[in-house]
């Protein structure tokens, strides 16, 4: 498959990444990927292909053994507690809210960059509650009492509090009912419309492809195929499934 040229310069370029959790065992084996402002780039593939590991390497939870990550053209040494100042956020597959704190306090924690600027934080919280009405209605309620879909909305709203440029999102609708999943995918598509870059790891091939601008298909730690959504043709789900599950992934 040919590779479509991105419409704008990528904000992140990862080249030939090799990484793993145990000595001598590589999960990623030469993975390259780009993220572009205003686009959702989806990483698809079966369980165990290295999709989540890729996001962890990009955010710095797992160091790369080989390869390079560049952000805005500059080499990036990804360290989790410093990624905020690079305007990069990571939403893991498992909920990352603070369940015993209220919705409002969770939101305030997302505005940590503006500590000491009380007025600005108040404005950001009000803006988040306006954008996410379900959070406004539950502002004073413990976050752990929210449904799975509501917690995902809280995570997205909290991440927006410090104006990130790049979102790394892992399985955003895992365990979420289909009706709420539609809303979450709409929110992710909305991030790209706001000019953000999104790298989305997902197993819901059909829904992910509906919002994707560009797709990477992974198998056994490598990128098996990539291309724009248009290049994947009409029956995208069947096409990806064929690539994923054909003998040997070839």
* CB distance 54 to 64 below 8 Å: no
pLDDT for the residue 247: 38
Mean pLDDT lowest among 19-28, 131-140, 160-169, 234-243: 234-243
Residue 173 has pLDDT above 90, yes or no: no
Q: Angle between the 148-159 and 103-110 helix axes, to the nearest 10 degrees? A: 30
The CATH fold assigned to 10-97+148-249 is Rossmann fold (3.40.50)
Band of residue 106 on the pLDDT scale cut at 50, 70, 90: very high
Band of residue 249 on the pLDDT scale cut at 50, 70, 90: very low
pLDDT for the residue 236: 64
Rounded mean pLDDT of 228-238? 71
pLDDT for the residue 131: 85
Question: CA-CA distance, 115 to 70, in Å (whole number)?
Answer: 29
3-state SS, residue 112 = helix
pLDDT for the residue 20: 93
pLDDT for the residue 201: 94
Q: Where are the domains of the chain?
A: 10-97+148-249
pLDDT for the residue 237: 65
Question: CA-CA distance, 97 to 103, in Å (whole number)?
Answer: 9
pTM for the whole thing?
0.86
Percent of the chain with pLDDT over 70: 88
């Amino acid at each position: 498959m040919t590779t479509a040229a991105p419409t704008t310069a990528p904000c992140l370029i990862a080249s030939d990444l090799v990484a793993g959790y145990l000595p001598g065992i590589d999960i990623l084996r030469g993975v390259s990927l780009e993220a572009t402002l205003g686009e959702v780039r989806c990483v698809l593939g079966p369980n165990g292909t290295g999709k989540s590991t890729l996001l962890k390497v990009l955010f710095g939870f797992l160091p790369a053994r080989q390869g390079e990550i560049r952000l805005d053209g500059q080499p990036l040494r990804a360290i989790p507690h410093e990624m905020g100042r690079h305007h990069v956020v990571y939403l893991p597959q498992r909920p990352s809210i603070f369940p015993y704190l209220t919705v409002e306090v969770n939101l305030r924690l997302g505005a940590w960059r503006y500590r000491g600027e009380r007025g600005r934080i108040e404005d950001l919280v009000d803006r988040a509650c306006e954008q996410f009405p379900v959070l406004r209605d539950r502002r004073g309620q413990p976050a752990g009492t929210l449904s799975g879909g509501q917690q995902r909305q809280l995570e997205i709203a909290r991440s927006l509090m410090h104006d990130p440029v790049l979102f790394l999102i892992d399985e955003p609708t895992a365990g979420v009912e289909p009706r709420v999943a539609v809303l979450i995918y709409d929110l992710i598509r909305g991030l790209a419309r706001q000019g953000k870059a999104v790298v989305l790891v997902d197993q819901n091939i059909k829904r992910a492809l509906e919002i994707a601008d560009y797709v990477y298909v992974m198998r056994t730690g490598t990128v098996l195929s990539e291309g724009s959504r248009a290049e994947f043709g009409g029956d995208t789900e069947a096409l990806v499934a064929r690539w994923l599950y054909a003998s040997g992934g070839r």
